[in-house]
Amino acid sequence: MKGKDQFFRYLIVGSTLAFFAIIVGLFWTTQEHLNHQSRLRLWVVHTQQVLVSISRLENTIKDVQIYEQIYGLTKKQEYYEAYKDSHQKLIEILESSIELIDDNQSQLVRLEDLKTKVRGRLAFLDEHIEQIRSGREYLVTKEDYDRLGQTGLRIRGVLKDIEHEELELFAKRTDELDAATRESFLRLQIISLVAFVVFCVAVVALYVVNRRQSRQTLSREVAYQINSILARRISLNQAVPECFKVICENLGWHTAALWRPTADGQKLQCHSFFANQPVPHFAKATSGEVERADKTLLGKVWCTGEPAWINFDVHNEKFSRENDGLQDGLKSGFMLPVYIQEKFIGVFEFFSKTILKEDANEEWLLKVICGDMAQEFERKRVEEGLQDALSELSQFHRFLDSVLQNMGSGVVVADRMGNFLLFNESAQRILGYKQIDQQFDSSQAAGLFEEDAVTPLKPEQVPLTRAINGEAVDNFILFCKIKDAQDGIWLSVNGRPILNHNGEIFGGVVVFEDVTLRKEEERRTIELYSMVSHELRTPLTSIRGALGLLEGGKAGQLSDRGKRLVTMGRKECDRLVRLINDILDVQKFDAGRLQLKPTEIGPLHLVERATENLRSLADEKNVDLQVISRIDAGKKITADKDRFLQIVTNLVSNAIKFAPKDSRIKIICEDQHEFNQIRVSVQDEGPGISEENQTRLFRSFEQVGAQANSPSEGTGLGLAISKALVQLHNGQIGLDSKEGEGATFWFTIPG
Amino acid sequence: MTGSMLIIDDDPRIREIIEISLEGDWITMTASSGEEALSVLESMIPDVILSDRTLPDIDGTELILKIRQNPNLKKIPVILLTARVQAQELEAYSQQDFAGVLSKPFDPMTLSDEINNILQGNSQD
């Protein structure tokens, strides 16, 4: 379409240029002719002038002669004057004639001859008239007359010759002028003809282009109208018939329909139908569903994606509505499948009461217009989807917001730039102020302290800063001094970075709770335990000291029985002290305050030392403690030295407690490279532990076994504490035993 | 070796037990309060001070600061004998200028050895 327009535009411009070129060319040559012609015209005029001048010469000669004779007869002064005038005039005419004919040599000769003759005749007449004026009788002789007559004849003869030649010249020049005029006329005729032809061509081309442009203008107009219909945001069911109306009214169609795929995409359904004037049969037939198959024309158009032209006069068995159309006077039709970005939108149908042949332009036009409509369908569909999603989202947002605002924990969200995006009501309540209008300054941590409420928090320790820097913060306890308040509060803070869809950190969120009450309760508990521990220890110190001194013989030698009794008291006292220590450990562990002080330790060395400390206890029962090393003596692991000792001591003393007399306990320390850990196992030859008891073993205050048989010396907390300590080291603790076959307690620590 | 030791404890029973425990190893004198201890220290300078943590008039941890104010007592080792032996308490003691910490209750038969260990700069390991 565009190419053709271009062609016609070029044609117009080309013919205009050619037109000018030809006109200019013709004028160029014709100019010469016209110049020539005007020169010829000058010559003709000139010749005419000469002729006139000759005839005036002749007449003037006669005048001179006549006035001379009249004066001779009348002697009146006035005739003399007249004679003189015509005499003078004759000379002037003669001179001017010579000037006129200065280009013609033969004529000049004749004129010179004429001049001499006229002068001679004038001289004669002058002489004659002078005689008359002097009053003397002048007799005109016969010779005089003859001479006058002869000169008169000669003059006339010469004049005739001149006239004759000039006449010939005149005739010749007139002919030439005539010929030249005819040729000029011919040329002008040719120019006019060429101009006319070019003009016609231009007019035709202009007409064609105009017609095409008007078609385009029309299509633009239609497209504009359709766009304005679609822009009115009415529903598609309303908009489509209106669009069809515009198309039918402007582009000469009569009926239009739109078939759209059903929800499952398997069939086509008539979505809208429009007709300029009622087409009852055809309208009725244009309904139902069409499969996506080559069986029907619509199905075929859908399948192939190719538009189809229909001529009702030519039978097409795939087009079932042919007869209905013919009954309503429809003659031709066009089916157009429309896709938007490869997505099938539907099939548009247009039918006309005139026979419309396949026309690429019309097809293109409808494709553009229907494409616009389809685009709008798609846009509306997406928009409706978006609207739904938006309302769902805003519902969800409201829901989330009410959760966020009403939850007990404070929630604060800030972006990387430090703008607060969320500062919920609990956060305001807990912190006692609004901060939503301020900026979060990650470079300071004013009013924030570590858990001890004394050490100021470093800016990089602030949970929100850490979250914004991409770190996860879990159960971080900090102390926060509220502005204008004497006391502060303890907060337990969890923080997480917030990532955007690219996985980049967008900001951070912290969730915090006021744990001041818990902290105070904890503190009171700690104080209570500390106080109880102290209050118990003070009298125990005296008791233990007194018994120790007695046992050590500082109060003189005791009887065997006395010594046995004092030792018993001292041992029970020691047990009581251990019990107090164990209870404190359990309490700390339960409160989550049991903290390790990890250092580099040599496990074998510590195992040996713990064993050594217990040797005297073992000796009492004649139990052999045997340390077996399967580990490099220089092997180091990271663990809490005191706690490691405590674990080993617990396990070994536990084993001693239940070991039969004269038995052996193996304490094996091994390096398990393959698991990247060390393992310490304590193997006894005791009664063993049944499976049901094994599970209860590591719980607090449960001592399984022969309480009745052997004097119990433990606190019942040893295994539970050991388990807690091993777990704090990220290790494992366990027991392998069968009843009657001894027991092996073991633990592992990564290293 | 026989050196002199100032024992500071408000509990007379404990003072007595310590004195008996150290009999023959140390020449001991006692004080029952911080004030008393300071007045004793004005008249004599012991080789070592064994002090309770909790005294009726002053805290053991403050007492050491007062003792250190006296230029003559700057170098005297002070051993803390305390029933407050929880982890964070021990942590706090380690920040101060104690030569060592002994916990209550103690074994009277080994007390002298433990004190010697501390004074020789030998810890248990």
Q: Would A533 be classed as within a structural domain?
A: no
Q: Could you say which DSSP state residue B59 is in?
A: B
Residues A370 and A429 in one domain: no
Domain borders along chain B are 3-119
Q: What phi, psi does A448 have (nearest 5°)?
A: -110, 140
Residues A176 and A52 in one domain: yes
pLDDT digits (tens, 9 = 90+) for A488-499: 888 899 999 999
Helices A641-658 and A718-728: crossing angle in degrees, nearest 10, is 150
Q: Is A563 on the interface with B (CB under 8 A)?
A: no
Strand partners, A415: A507
B71 to chain A, minimum CA–CA distance in Å?
32
Beta-carbon separation of A577 and B105 below 8 A: yes
Beta-carbon separation of B84 and A609 below 8 A: no
* Chain A interface, best mutation among B13, B52, B80, B111, by max A CB count within 10 A: B13
Query: Which CATH code fits B3-119?
Result: 3.40.50.2300
What is the pLDDT, as a whole number, of residue A221?
Answer: 81
pLDDT of residue A439 exceeding 80, the answer is: no
Consecutive H or E run containing A265: none
Residues 8-37 of B with CB under 8 A from A: 11, 13-14, 17-18, 20-21, 23
Tally helices (H) and strands (E) across chain B.
5, 5
More confident: A129 or A241? A241
Nearest to A545 among B85, B105, B125 (CB): B105
Residues A380 and A412 in one domain: no
Are residues A750 and A731 in contact, defined by beta-carbon separation less than 8 angstroms? yes
In this prediction the ipTM stands at 0.89
What is the pLDDT, as a whole number, of residue A711?
Answer: 46
Residues 602-621 of A with CB under 8 A from B: 609
Nearest Cα to Cα of residue A51 among A162, A156, A154: A162
The average pLDDT across A575-601 equals: 83
Residues A44 and A191 in one domain: yes
Question: Of the candidates A461, A482, A514, which is a domain's last residue?
Answer: A514
What is the C-alpha to C-alpha distance for residues A401 and A395, in angstroms, rounded to an integer? 10
Q: Would A527 be classed as within a structural domain?
A: no
pLDDT of residue A399 exceeding 70, the answer is: yes
Beta-carbon separation of A534 and B108 below 8 A: no
Q: Which residue of B has its CA nearest to A544?
A: B105
What is the pLDDT, as a whole number, of residue A628?
Answer: 93
Are residues A478 and A463 in contact, defined by beta-carbon separation less than 8 angstroms? yes
Q: Would A152 be classed as within a structural domain?
A: yes
Q: What is the CATH number of the domain that holds A144?
A: 1.20.120.1730
pLDDT of residue B35 exceeding 50, the answer is: yes
Q: What is the CA radius of gyration of chain A?
A: 68
Residues A311 and A379 in one domain: yes
Residues A295 and A365 in one domain: yes
B64 to chain A, minimum CA–CA distance in Å?
21
Residues A415 and A476 in one domain: yes
What is the pLDDT, as a whole number, of residue A709?
Answer: 41
Beta-carbon separation of A545 and B18 below 8 A: yes
Cα A705 versus chain centre, distance: 78
Question: Of the candidates A465, A497, A514, which is a domain's last residue?
Answer: A514
Question: Of the candidates A336, A351, A385, which is a domain's last residue?
Answer: A385
Consecutive H or E run containing B112: helix B111-119
Residues A171 and A22 in one domain: yes
What is the C-alpha to C-alpha distance for residues A419 and B88, in angstroms, rounded to an integer? 40
Q: Which residue shows structure tokens 């536990």?
A: A654
AA identity, residue A673: H
pLDDT of residue A484 exceeding 70, the answer is: no
Total structural domains within chain A: 4
Nearest to A534 among B18, B84, B109 (CB): B84
What is the pLDDT, as a whole number, of residue A542?
Answer: 92
Are residues A305 and A339 in contact, defined by beta-carbon separation less than 8 angstroms? yes
pLDDT band at A14 (very low <50, low <70, confident <90, very high): confident
Residues A195 and A238 in one domain: no
What is the C-alpha to C-alpha distance for residues A99 and A82, in angstroms, rounded to an integer? 25
pLDDT digits (tens, 9 = 90+) for A286-310: 888 888 777 888 888 888 888 888 8
Give, in order, the Cα–Cα distances in Å from A604 to each of A53, A629, A633, A723: 160, 7, 6, 20
Beta-carbon separation of B109 and A537 below 8 A: no
Q: What is the span of the domain harbouring residue A239? A: 232-385
Q: Is this model's pTM higher than 0.80 or not?
A: no
More confident: A141 or A369? A369
Q: What is the CATH number of the domain that holds A284?
A: 3.30.450.40
Q: Would A435 be classed as within a structural domain?
A: yes
Q: What is the CATH number of the domain that holds A669?
A: 3.30.565.10
Q: Would A568 be classed as within a structural domain?
A: no
pLDDT of residue A444 exceeding 60, the answer is: yes
Are residues A679 and A638 in contact, defined by beta-carbon separation less than 8 angstroms? no
Q: Is A538 on the interface with B (CB under 8 A)?
A: yes
Nearest to B109 among A538, A542, A552 (CB): A552
How many CA atoms lie less than 13 Å away from A490 in the CB half-sphere?
18
Phi-psi region of A553 (alpha: psi -120 to 50; beta: other; left: phi over 0): left
User: Pairing relation of β-strands A664-672 and A677-683?
Assistant: antiparallel
Residues A366 and A418 in one domain: no
Question: Residue A385, Cβ neighbours under 10 Å: how many?
Answer: 10
Q: Is the dihedral of CA B91, B96, B99, B103 positive or negative?
A: negative
Q: For residue A576, what are the contacts with CB-CB under 8 A and spacing of at least 6?
A: A536, A540
Beta-carbon separation of A549 and B83 below 8 A: no
Residues A412 and A462 in one domain: yes
User: Pairing relation of β-strands A743-750 and B3-8?
Assistant: unpaired
Q: Is A583 on the interface with B (CB under 8 A)?
A: no
* Chain A interface, best mutation among B54, B94, B104, by max A CB count within 10 A: B104
Residues 79-118 of B with CB under 8 A from A: 83-87, 89, 104-109
Contacts of B84 in chain A (CB under 8 A): 530, 533-534
Residues A138 and A275 in one domain: no
